Amino acid sequence: MQERAIEAALSRRDSLVVMPTGGGKSLCYQLPPLLTGDLTVVVSPLISLMKDQVDALRDVGVDARELNSTTTEVQKRDLVRAAREKTLRLLFVSPERLAVERFVDFLRTLDVRTFAIDEAHCISHWGHDFRPEYRQLGELRERFPNATLHAYTATATESVRRDIAAQLRLNEPEIVVGSFDRPNLSYRVLPRVEPLKQTLEMIERHAGEAGIIYCIRKKEVDELTASLRKRGIDARPYHAGLTKEERTATQDAFAGEQCNIVVATVAFGMGIDRSNIRFVLHTGLPKSIEHYQQESGRAGRDGLEADCVLLYSAADVLLWRSIMEKSQAETGVSVPHMLRHVDEIDRYARGAVCRHKALVNYFGEQYTAHNCAACDLCLGDVEEVADGTVIAQKILSCVVRVEQRFGIGHVIAVLRGEKNERIGKLGHDRLSTYGLLSVHGQSELRDWIYQIIGHGLLEQDGDRYPVLKLTDAARRVLRGEENVRLVQIARKQARRRPPDDSWIGVDELLFESLRKFRRELAAARGVPPYIILGDRSLREVARLRPKSLAQLRDVYGIGDKKLADLGERILAVVNSADT
């Protein structure tokens, strides 16, 4: 996937690149200017995101700069000089900067031929994170007619991809869609019963390791942080209600490994490139599958094992609806597609389909593995519902009886035998399916309907008020030709996935010594520790215990520059562990 994206840039063809968080998108726009010697302008939404990338690039010898509100006059002059002398390879800017005519004129004098738009889903009204300032990026086509445009995002369904291409006016783009599966992540959905206790259990399971805990509201962040700190856990808060200085302090402490636990709203994470996050816990329902994919995807970016746990309560669906309807009342912006996003993540949480399969299918990718061995459903942490096929047949029959013209709520009301004016007026209390599942509660039936949708037997048609319709596969179930498995989700504490092979043979004391060395060196250089070396490299050093530079060169992540810069010091840490 990276090769196709890089070749598109080198052949001067527009591109749209979709790869999951940690999938290697950055290399796709970082490598071409090193091969061509030309300048690439990278549009990035966050200062912290720019800084991390610039630090990492400069650490390996690439002339990359950022231009934002923190750039000093001296730095601006150096930047202009490097650009005019054609040594500058990557220039990171905000979308707002490209609305400044003076800056655009400067870029024209440089004859910029390549623009890379990171987090490109922000340009789409259909995306989960629309940002108005991204809209004017469509003008790049007129302002720089000889330039190629390249859009990069981690989370875009097919409809969002089409919208990105249309808004940026991409010219016959190369469309590269990588796999959305992250096999090193284990996904679980647990009923939210005692959130503080469940949070403490997660932290204890990952003692000494990094994790992000997401809450829906700022108040919940503050309360949970205070409860954790009261128990001696160095947790830091992050949300929009804190000052910029407070947010920066939390972000820097986490990135610099001075603290391992951050409790946050969704405002936190996009600018964090810490690769060794070992767990992400959602104490509430994310606002969309795209958000969940992006937020949970911040775990395990080094390719090593990580846990993603979602504490589910149906009350969160009502909360999100209330928040969105209030926003609509205040801004006048219609939110039907946002409500649809909430329904989709609700269906994911309640579903009975392998979590990995459900996530990749949502983004239009096929998942063929029979068992992922990395989610609560595939690990057997659920209870099967007795007579699942019969229950499914009754639900499908009810959809047929109401002529496939009604949504989930009405079908549930008919199946439960509820008495209300609408059912009486339509005569649905005289249907053969009326009251067929009256012994079951609304929540239970909604769970099963979402599972049946997940199995591909029902589909929801329409945006604002979607109605249930049968698929061809459903008719085989009704005829008794196929069985349906329904489950009760996570009624007991999920067990961990099998141990990851990456720990086999690792000297854990040496690994911790290497982490300490990395943390101290990163602090001295003023960069995040992951820029020095990733956990995967440290584990390999702690497994191989190299005695020479030649042996150290074989370790993953250690190239010639790292070897020259760090080699002797790493060997000294290894040798000191032997004495």
Rounded to a whole number, what is the largest CA-CA distance in the chain? 85
3-state secondary structure of 117: strand
Tell me the C-alpha distance between 44 and 30, whole Å: 13
Half-sphere exposure of 450 (CA within 13 A, CB side): 23
Long-range contacts of 312-318 (CB under 8 A, 24+ apart): 312/189, 312/190, 312/191, 312/192, 312/285, 312/349, 312/350, 312/489, 313/191, 313/192, 313/284, 313/285, 314/346, 314/443, 314/446, 316/216, 316/284, 316/285, 317/285, 317/342, 317/343, 317/346
365 vs 213, 256, 417, 468, CA distance in Å?
28, 36, 39, 23
Domains parsed from the chain with CATH numbers: 2-177 (3.40.50.300), 185-362 (3.40.50.300), 383-488 (1.10.10.10), 501-578 (1.10.150.80)
**pLDDT value at residue 286:** 94
* Concatenated DSSP letters of 503-561: GTT--HHHHHHHHHHHHHHHHHHTS-HHHH--HHHHHHHHHH---SHHHHTTSTT--HH
Q: List the pLDDT tens digit at each of the 579 positions of the chain.
A: 899 999 999 999 999 999 877 778 899 999 999 999 999 999 988 877 788 889 889 888 899 999 988 888 999 999 999 999 999 999 999 999 998 899 999 999 999 999 999 988 888 766 656 777 788 898 999 999 999 999 999 878 888 899 999 999 999 999 999 888 999 999 999 888 789 999 999 999 999 999 999 999 999 999 999 999 999 999 999 998 999 899 889 988 998 899 999 999 986 755 566 889 999 999 999 989 988 998 999 999 888 899 999 998 877 887 888 888 887 777 776 677 788 888 899 889 888 789 999 999 998 888 988 899 999 888 877 777 889 999 999 999 999 999 999 999 999 999 999 999 999 999 999 999 999 999 999 988 988 998 888 788 998 887 667 899 999 999 999 999 999 988 765 455 445 555 566 678 889 899 999 999 999 998 888 887 888 888 889 999 999 999 999 999 999 889 888 899 999 999 999 998 876
**Phi-psi region at 400: left, alpha or beta (left = phi > 0; alpha = psi -120 to 50):** alpha
pTM of the entire predicted model:
0.74
3-state helix, strand, coil in the chain (%, to 5): 50, 15, 40
Tell me the C-alpha distance between 300 and 408, whole Å: 37
Sorted by sequence, the CB contacts under 8 Å of residue 426 that are 6+ apart come out as none
Pairing of the two strands 114-117 and 235-238: unpaired
277 vs 212, 281, 296, 303, CA distance in Å?
8, 11, 10, 10
Q: Which helix (H) or strand (E) holds 150?
A: strand 148-153
Tell me the C-alpha distance between 236 and 254, whole Å: 8
Residue 555: count other Cβ atoms within 10 Å of its Cβ. Answer: 20
**pLDDT value at residue 126:** 64
Pairing of the two strands 383-384 and 487-488: antiparallel
* Concatenated DSSP letters of 353-372: S-HHHHHHHHTT-----S--
Angle between the 535-544 and 508-525 helix axes, to the nearest 10 degrees? Answer: 140
